[in-house]
Amino acid sequence: QCQLSGLWRNDQGSLMEISAVRGNGDFHGKYLTRITLAGGCARVSPLKGIQQQPTEGGWPTFAFTVRWDKFSNATTAFAGQCFVDTGGKETLTTMWLLREAVGSLQEDWKATR
């Protein structure tokens, strides 16, 4: 069984700490990114998410958002799945979309990465 709660580090050196996952799948935590849109020092940003409760023997899927409002006017949505290999190592695989605020509808095309 894969445990989503705990401290995670990605291949870019960013850190994510997830609190205990509640019975309904809700969780919250903190994200410290090593990569910023504006460059410079990143700060801890809040995250909120939900885990889909896995079926017997299944690997849980999850989604969460990170609000970068302390140093950027952007939000990122992540979706992923948790796996455990034969050696017991837990791995999260995710994909993400970052939405940065823009000043007008005409600039909307450049707001999502």
pLDDT given at position 113: 87
pTM of the predicted protein model: 0.84
Q: Provide the edge-to-edge strand list for the sheet that holds 15-18.
A: 6-9, 15-18, 26-32, 44-52, 61-67, 74-84, 90-100
Domain ranges of the chain: 6-110
Q: How far is CA 102 from CA 26, 49, 57, 113, in A?
A: 30, 25, 44, 13
Per-residue model confidence as pLDDT tens digits over 88-100: 899 999 999 999 9
Q: Taken in order 18, 26, 75, 83, is the CA torsion positive or negative? A: positive
Question: What is the C-alpha to C-alpha distance for residues 102 and 60, in angstroms, rounded to an integer?
Answer: 35
6-110 topology per CATH: Lipocalin (2.40.128)
